Amino acid sequence: MKQLARRDALQAVVGLAAAAAVGTVAGRHGSAHARTALDAVPETADAVVHADVDALRRDGGMRTMATAALQQRRQYVSAEPNGYRDVDALLSDVEADLDTDPSKVHRATVFGDVGGDGDDLFGGYAGVVFRAELSADDVKSGIENLDDIDLSKIEKSGTVVYEPETDGGPWVGALDADRVVVGTEAAVSDAVDVASGETAAVGDPLRGAYGESREAPVRFASRLPGPSRNAAVPTAVNAGGRSVDITPLDHVTTLAGAVYRDDDVRGLETTLSAADPVAANDVARVVRRLRDRVESELRDRELADIVGDIAVDRDGATVTTSVSRTVDELETLVEDGGASY
pLDDT tens digits along 232-257: 677 887 766 678 888 998 999 998 99
Whether the predicted pLDDT of 133 surpasses 60: yes
pLDDT at 8: 40
- Pairing type for strands 236-239 and 105-112 reads unpaired
pLDDT at 337: 46
First to last CA, the chain: 24
Q: Cβ of 320: how many Cβ atoms within 10 Å?
A: 22
Question: What is 166-200 written as a DSSP string?
Answer: STTPPEEEEEETTEEEEE-HHHHHHHHHHHHTSSP
pLDDT tens digits, 169-198: 789 999 988 899 998 899 999 999 999 999
pLDDT of residue 252: 92
- Residue 27: is its pLDDT beyond 50? no
Predicted confidence at residue 146, as pLDDT, reads 66
Interaxial angle between packed helices 87-97 and 7-18, expressed in degrees from 0 to 180 and rounded to the nearest 10 = 140
Q: Residue 218 in contact with residue 62, Cβ under 8 Å? A: yes
Please state, as a whole number, how many other Cβ atoms lie within 10 Å of the Cβ of residue 241: 5
User: Letter for the amino acid at 257?
Assistant: G
Q: Report percent pLDDT > 90 for the chain.
A: 22
- For residue 183, give Cα distances in angstroms to 10, 42, 79, 109: 9, 13, 22, 12
* Whether the predicted pLDDT of 114 surpasses 80: no
Q: What is the mean pLDDT of residues 50-79?
A: 68
Q: What is the mean pLDDT of residues 120-149?
A: 78
Residues 80-102: tens digit of each pLDDT: 434 455 667 666 665 665 556 66
Side-chain-facing half-sphere of 120: CA atoms under 13 Å? 10
Domain ranges (residues) in the chain:
2-335
Give the pLDDT confidence score for residue 241 in this predicted structure.
67
